Amino acid sequence: ETSEFIFIKSNDSLENGKIILRRKYLSNIFHFLINKGIIPISILELFRLGIECKKIIHIFDNLKNSLSLDFHSKVAIDIKNKDIKRPISKRINQYEYDFTNTEYFKNNFNSIKILYFEALQGCIERNGIIFQNTHQIGLVIRGSFCFTSGKSRGLCFVTEDVNTKEEYFARNFNSTKMCKIIFLLETLETDYQKI
């Protein structure tokens, strides 16, 4: 059992910090914050805003951060637990790139690049797999429909250099349909502002 909430102070001029808390304390904290004139938003809404505004959500999108890896590992475990309940013929295959595979991340920290992508059709969601031809090169950190572009956009990590002349594809973790994607920016650490 931990404390009611954790406050992570930020050095960014746009925010004071982030509060991480258990769901059962959410209502009390929301009442307190709203009475003080603070506008709270959820992590999922923060992710959607990050995609719309082309911003990186620093704690959650930085895969070199242990808090981020813990968060993504827990989400991946939830996906796998749901998958176990499906019939064997409809279960998802296991892949090398997986947020629960912490050894993979520890061994490849220096080669990981975080990129912003756009799907030319379809919607690529969290844990989607990135391919160059048939070679698997990365995993989607988060993705959703972007209202400003009218297409699906998101963040992904890749472990190899991206060449604009090559074709890249992505597919959702539980699907076989491939969607062509284009990378819009190089590494986010230089091109994106941090939230």
In the chain, the domains with their CATH numbers are 5-40 (no CATH), 56-194 (2.40.30.110)
Band of pLDDT at residue 135, cut at 50, 70 and 90: confident
3-state secondary structure of 26: helix
Quick check: 92 pLDDT over 60? Answer: yes
**How far, in Å, CA of 72 to CA of 99, rounded?**
6
pLDDT of residue 73: 76
Give mean pLDDT, residues 120-125. Answer: 88
pLDDT of residue 115: 85
Helix H or strand E segment including 72:
helix 66-84
Quick check: 189 pLDDT over 80? Answer: no
pTM for this model (two decimals): 0.69
Lowest mean pLDDT: which of 92-106, 112-126, 173-187? 92-106
What's the chain's average pLDDT?
77
pLDDT, tens only, 18-34: 778 788 888 888 888 88
pLDDT, tens only, 34-50: 898 888 787 788 888 88
Band of pLDDT at residue 83, cut at 50, 70 and 90: confident
**How far, in Å, CA of 24 to CA of 51, rounded?**
28
| CB 104, CB 94: distance < 8 Å | no
φ/ψ of residue 68, rounded to 5: -65, -45
